Amino acid sequence: MTEDSKTHWDELFSKWGSKLPGLSEEETEEFQTAVKAGNFSKAISVVKKSYELLRNTKVNIAITEITGSGKSSFINAIRSLNDDESCAAKTGVEETTKKKTSYPHPIDPNVILWDLPGIGSPKYPAERYVKDMNLDKYDFFIIIAAGRFTEFDTKLAKEIKRMGKKFYFVRSKVDADLHNEQQKSNFSEERTLQAIRNNSMRYLQEAGIISPKVFLVSRWDFHKYDSPLLQETFANDLDTHKRHVLICVLPSTSEKILEEKQKALQEQIWKQALWSCLIAAVPLPILSVNCDVYFLVENMRQYCKAFGLDDVSLKSLAKQVGKSVDELKSEIKSPLAKNITRDEALKRLREATGENMMTIKYFISLIPLIGSGIAAERSYNVTYEMLHRFLDEVTEDAQRVLKKALEGAENNQ
């Protein structure tokens, strides 16, 4: 590495400083150590390893309940599906889960929701449940009840805690509870919800659960009550990579979740820009442009799917909120996932760099010693800015779609 090109690399790396979003603590330490030692190839390998790890990270979520608590509907809601869709979990008043069943998320199959039979049934007594269900394979557990939590629920929670895993109690069907209480003259939604939460927590504490987390949800109003907080909580309890993977597939049904998605995706942009930077340092301009386009298309499509800006997600959302797909699409200004093509990416590159982009890149990259460094920095900046700009666009689109989707919802309660 020449002194001139090393200077350009130093300038690029110095932009990140000590705060490296999207890397785990171990990866950050390894990266910084390599940069301080001037071993940039090692630093790059750390980022590459982190990128590959992120693509292959799996999140396994276990969900269990007693019969009739709405477990299958909850699984479908988390996967942004309606109960009658072909790949949805089967729902019904009868016991539908005879054995553990996996449901990969339609956006990212690395996120898997596991429908577990209820603990304490004749087929799965409590003393065998831990072994039969292979509980150590799951990242966290959601224990659902439509009424009171049971002794079996608390036994399971204690076993999960003993294993060092996280668990969350979900009190489902609170919309039905509220409907029943509305007949009373002194009805208060806030007071009713707090009473449900207090009763659940009191029972769990009496059963020996210390500081239980109880979240109130409704499958049919999944944007309300404690659902957004539940999703944010269990995502934040995961490590860096698993948190990112999970955040990107959560339903885009609250402003807070949309903010978390934007933040999670922003943290990864510098890695994509780095690849563009590295390729641009090689004096093969056509290769550099092709790689820029490939990374742009891949990431732009990912952003759209993460925010539900694709035909499948919009169709499902429209059905859930009782609006037409066209009504929701009318709020979208950026291209949908299916319309993000090589031509769209090239168009945006030309807008950012000028019509003579390929010619300029070619001549800059051939300048002895310093040319590759200049081309690399140029590619890094362009890719970084373009992805940030597009992410801002789809975030704003998703916010408008959400507002349109929930328009009038409060008046229909």
For the chain, 413 residues long, give each residue's pLDDT as a single digit of tens.
Answer: 444 445 545 555 565 555 577 888 888 888 888 877 877 778 778 888 888 888 899 999 999 876 667 788 899 999 988 888 888 888 764 555 567 899 999 999 999 999 988 776 667 776 777 777 888 899 999 999 988 888 888 988 998 998 899 999 999 999 888 888 888 888 899 999 999 999 999 999 999 999 888 999 998 888 889 999 999 999 999 998 999 999 999 999 889 999 999 999 998 888 777 766 554 444 434 434 455 677 788 889 999 999 999 998 999 899 888 899 999 999 999 988 888 888 887 787 777 665 444 444 443 343 344 334 444 566 677 778 888 889 999 999 999 999 999 887 554 44
Return all residues near 305 (Cβ < 8 A) that are at least 6 apart.
Answer: 107, 313, 337
Distance, CA of 403 to CA of 413 (rounded, Å)? 16
- What pLDDT does residue 186 have? 85
Distance, CA of 311 to CA of 309 (rounded, Å)? 7
- What pLDDT does residue 359 have? 42
- What pLDDT does residue 2 have? 43
Residue 334, token pair as written in the block: 């950026």
Residue 31, token pair as written in the block: 């990266």
Q: What 8-state DSSP symbol labels residue 221?
A: G
- What pLDDT does residue 326 have? 95
In one-letter notation, the amino acid at residue 120 is: G
SS3 call for 373:
helix
- What pLDDT does residue 40 have? 74
SS3 call for 119:
coil
- Strand runs labelled E in 200-317: 214-216
Q: What 8-state DSSP symbol labels residue 144?
A: E
Give Rg (Cα) of the chain. 25
SS3 call for 337:
helix
- What pLDDT does residue 281 have? 43
- What pLDDT does residue 381 have? 74
Evaluated on CA atoms 347, 350, 355, 357, the torsion sign reads negative
- What pLDDT does residue 1 have? 43
Q: Report whether 258 contacts 252 (CB < 8 A).
A: yes
- What pLDDT does residue 373 have? 46
SS3 call for 295:
helix
Residue 255, token pair as written in the block: 């402003």
SS3 call for 220:
helix
CA distances from 43 to 171, 191, 234, 413 (A): 47, 55, 31, 55
- What pLDDT does residue 287 have? 39
- pTM for this model (two decimals): 0.83
Evaluated on CA atoms 64, 70, 73, 78, the torsion sign reads negative
- What pLDDT does residue 192 have? 92
Return all residues near 353 (Cβ < 8 A) that are at least 6 apart.
Answer: 360, 378, 382
Cβ count near 13 (within 10 Å): 18
End-to-end CA distance of the chain: 66
